Amino acid sequence: MPRTIELQSGTAANIQKPKQESGHKVVDKTQKIIQVFGVLLTGLISLFCILPFVLIISSSFTAEKSITLHGFSLFPREFSLDAYDLIFQNPRMVLGSYAVTIGLTITGTLIGLFIIAMTGYALQRPDFLLRNHISFYIYFTTLFSGGLIPFYMMVTRTLKLKDSYLAVLLPLMMSPWLIILMKNFLKSIPHSITESATIDGANDFYIFIKIILPTATPALATVGLFLALSYWNEWYNSMLFLSSRVEYRPLQLFLYNTVNEAKYIRDSAAASNIPAIEIPLESMKMATAVVATGPVIFIYPFVQKYFIQGITVGAVKG
């Protein structure tokens, strides 16, 4: 009898094996279908994200008459470099604007990143008694501000920074949202590390430089990218505080003024019944977008992985 039972159980086990194998095959097929669908969906979304950039680049190399008659297209119907010729008709001004923007971006990003990191590190430490009060003060500035007129008077009359690059550099150096982001990320670093270093005789600044900053590389890359983009795209403060007496103004303001001047010339010529002046205004707008965003597009892939990691950790910890 026992042998019979063993045989029966053995045959039952052998019968059940094909069912399990068939179940695994169904699961594998389902996973492959999901993966293929995910790849196709991601590719489709990526295509829709890339198409606007392709349209901008194509339109910047399209003749103005072609845009007027046929509209924008993904491929130039009539190739033309008139828009770029108009923008770079004064290469010295373009290069000077690039130099000013790059200088402001590098300086503001490095100094601002260091200050924001120190602020976030201090606000997340449990042994800092005023951390909640200062955090509320920083958060309060995201809800209410003094307004444009007091800000303008403070910069021009109190600080006397009219026609100075510091009027563009200082206001963007610290952002409440970036401080909160840095603070939330640094919370993920155990405070026991700081305590251990303090017991070993390290001071606060040494701990911040040698331990905290190397650990916070994703947050530094994320905040640094936001700071760099804010400086690179800045034009409003430049328009407020940098007059025509400043020879080289930031790139975005230079391109903005170039497009407005071209539009003014074309409208004035049309009002004066002078049809001879043809300015590629529409293609020129697209060319300014290419000139302004080109360097940023090339830099972003190098910090993408840190950017995603820093955003994710900061959001979860918040």
The tens digit of pLDDT for each residue in 229-246 reads 899 999 999 999 998 888
Phi-psi region of 147 (alpha: psi -120 to 50; beta: other; left: phi over 0): left
Residue 21 has pLDDT above 90, yes or no: no
Give the domain CATH number at 198. Answer: 1.10.3720.10
Residue 65 located in a structural domain = no
**Model confidence pTM above 0.75:** yes
What total of structural domains would you count in the chain? 2
Q: Do residues 87 and 56 share a domain? A: no
Same domain, 23 and 120: no
39 & 165 share domain: no
Say yes or no to pLDDT of 102 above 50.
yes
Q: Which domain holds residue 14?
A: 2-60
- pLDDT confidence bin for 100, thresholds 50/70/90: very high
pLDDT tens-digit map of 103-142? 999 999 999 999 999 999 999 888 888 888 998 988 888 8
- Residue type (1 letter), 76: P
Handedness of CA 153, 154, 157, 161 (dihedral sign): negative
Residue 285: Cβ-neighbour burial (10 angstroms; 0-12, 13-18, 19+): middle
Both 50 and 131 in a single domain? no
Nearest to 77 by CA among 87, 89, 63: 63
